[in-house]
Amino acid sequence: MIELFDRLARPLLYALDPEDAHRLAIRMLQVVSLPPVPPDDTRLATRVFGLNFLNPIGIAAGFDKHAEIPDALMRAGFGFVEVGTVTPLPQLGNPRPRLFRLDADQAVINRLGFNSQGADAVLRRLAARASAGGIVGINVGANKDAPDRVADYVRLIEKFAAVASYVTVNISSPNTPGLRDMQQADVLDDLLARVIDARERVTKNAGPTPVLLKIAPDLSLSDLDDVVGIARARRVNGVIVGNTTVSRPASLRDAQLREAGGLSGRPLLPLADRMLAETYVRVEDAFPLVGAGGIDSGASALGKIRAGASLIQIYSGLVFRGLGLVGEIKRTIVAALERDGAQNLADYVGADAASATAEPWPDQFVRA
Ligand SMILES: Cc1cc2nc3c(=O)[nH]c(=O)nc-3n(C[C@H](O)[C@H](O)[C@H](O)COP(=O)(O)O)c2cc1C
C-alpha cells in the first residue's frame, strides 16, 4: 500500500515547486488514511532515553513542522516522529523560493528560516492527540526577532513538556542569523542550564521529559569538544547529529548548488557520519545519540547506527525514495541481525566509531 502511494504520488509531487509539493504531501497524508504497516519485528525495538521505541527510525524535524500529521507518519511505520521546529510566536520565515531539490545530487537545499504557525497552534494539535500514544517529540527554536533567545527555549520547554515525548533544543539551523552561535561554549552553557532547570521545574506535573540538543555538522572539532563537555556537564538526555550543512561538497553537480541555505540528503552522508562518530567517541556513553543526515537506503541507515546512532532520523531520503524507504531500512536491519545472530541493535551502535575517526577527513568537505 505504501509502495502504491509512493508510485502514484511521486510524478505529481515532482511536477510541482518543491514547497508546494511538500504541502500537497502533507495534505495527502492527512486525507488518504493509509492502513497501518504490519507490526515491527521485535528485534527492532529499543529503549533510549527512558522511552520504548518499536523501531529506531524517526522522521526528522522540518517535515511536519506544525504537527499536522504525526499519527499518519506513525502509521506509515516510523518508530518516532519529531515535529517542529516550532517557534513561540508565529512567523513567516524567509521569502520564497526557499526550498530546492537538487535532483542530480539526490539532495535538498532549504532556507525556510523557521516558518512556524507558532506554539499555540502546535500545542493544541499535540494536546488533542496526546492519548493516541506513540513517540512524538518536538523540536523548538527561537523567534528570529526574540529579544532573549534563551527565554524562548525556556518558554517552549515549559509549554510542551506535558504533551511531547521529548523536546529537542535546535540551535543548529543555518537559516536564522546568529542561531548557530548559541553552540559557543559560554552561550550554550547558560542555555542548557536554564533549559534543564525549566524541565526540572515542570517535571512534577508533566512527568520526565528528555531534553535533546541538535547540533550542526559544521562545528569544528574543538567546538565539538566544548559542546559535548557542556552537554555532559548539564546532563542533557541526548544529542542529535545533526542538522543541514552550510558547506557545499565538491561532488555537487546540480545547477542549484549555489542556492543559500542548508544542504541535506545523500551528499551530506560522509560529513554527518563522521561528525556522529566524532561525537560518539567524545560522549563515552554518557547519553545516546540520534543520527541524521544523508540516509537514503538500508545500508546508509545501518552505517549510521554503526557510526554511533542509537536512533536514526530521515528527511531528504523520503523526497527521493518515498515512504517505502522506511520498510527497506527495517528489512536491512533485520537481515543483518539474522546474519549475525544478534537479538537487537545494541551490538551495532558505535561499532565503527573509533575506526571512522582515524580515517582522513571526508575529502569532499573542505574544513573552514
Ligand atoms: C526542507 C527541510 C526543512 C527542515 N527543517 C528543519 C527544522 O525545522 N528543524 C530542524 O531541526 N531541522 C530541520 N531540517 C533538517 C533535518 O531535520 C535533518 O537534520 C537534515 O535534513 C539531515 O537529514 P536528511 O539528510 O535525512 O534530510 C530540515 C531539513 C529539510 C530538508
- What single-letter DSSP state applies at residue 100? E
Q: How far apart are CA 303 and CA 280, in angstroms?
A: 14
Distance CA 132, CA 86 (A): 21
- Index of the ligand 1 atom closest to the CA of residue 242: 19
The gap from C-alpha 151 to its chain's centroid, in whole angstroms, comes to 23
Q: What is the pLDDT of residue 8?
A: 82
pLDDT of residue 366: 63
- Of 210, 208, 357, the closest CA to residue 288 belongs to 210
Probe residue for ligand 1, chosen from 80, 82, 243 as the CB with the greatest number of ligand atoms within 8 Å = 243
Q: Is the CB of 323 under 6 A from ligand 1?
A: no
Query: Mean of the pLDDT values across residues 218-232?
Result: 96
How much distance in Å is there from the Cα of 85 to the middle of ligand 1?
9
Amino acid letter, residue 320: F
With cell 563522521, the residue in question is 274
C-alpha cell at 14: 515532482
- Alpha carbon nearest to ligand 1 atom 24, residue: 293
Q: Is there a contact between 89 and 82 (Cβ–Cβ < 8 Å)?
A: no
Residue 214 Cβ inside 6 Å of ligand 1? The answer reads yes
Reading the block at residue 126, the C-alpha cell is 499535540
- Read out DSSP for 212-227? EEEE-TT--HHHHHHH
Q: Which atom of ligand 1 is nearest to the CA of 172?
A: 11
Residue 83 has pLDDT above 50, yes or no: yes
Alpha-carbon distance 237 to 50, whole Å? 9
pLDDT, the chain, mean: 94
- Kindly state the average pLDDT of the residues 203-211: 90
Position 94 scores a pLDDT of 96
pLDDT score recorded for residue 184 = 87
- Whether 156 and 128 have beta carbons less than 8 Å apart is answered as no
Q: Answer yes or no: are the C-beta atoms of 166 and 209 closer than 8 Å.
A: yes
Inform me whether the pLDDT recorded for 155 exceeds 90: yes
Is it the case that residue 322 has pLDDT exceeding 60? Answer: yes
Residue with CA nearest ligand 1 atom 3: 62
**For residue 210, what pLDDT is reported?**
97
Q: Does the pLDDT value for residue 74 go beyond 70?
A: yes
Mean pLDDT of the region 257-268: 96
**pLDDT tens, position by position, 233-243:** 999 999 999 99
Give 177's pLDDT tier (boundaries 50, 70, 90). Answer: confident
Q: Ligand 1: does its nearest atom lie under 6 Å from the Cβ of 61?
A: yes
Please check the confidence at residue 367 and state whether its pLDDT lies above 70.
Answer: no
In this prediction, residue 182 carries a pLDDT of 84
Q: Taking 90 as the threshold, does the pLDDT of residue 207 lie above it?
A: no
Does any ligand 1 atom lie closer than 6 A to the CB of residue 325?
no
Q: How far is the CA of 170 from the centre of ligand 1 (A)?
A: 11
Question: What integer pLDDT is reported at residue 368 of this predicted model?
Answer: 44
For the residues 119-132, what does the mean pLDDT come to?
A: 96
pLDDT greater than 90 at residue 22? yes
Averaged over 164-173, what is the pLDDT?
96
Higher pLDDT: 367 or 282? It is 282
Looking at the predicted structure, is the pLDDT value of residue 3 above 60?
yes
Q: For residue 309, how far is its CA from the centre of ligand 1 (angstroms)?
A: 17
Q: Whose CA is nearest to atom 19 of ligand 1?
A: 243
Distance 47 CA to ligand 1 centre (A): 24
The residue nearest atom 13 of ligand 1, judged by CA position, is 62
The residue-averaged pLDDT of 284-297 equals 98
b/e per residue 231-241 (b: at least 16 CB within 10 A): beebebbbbbb
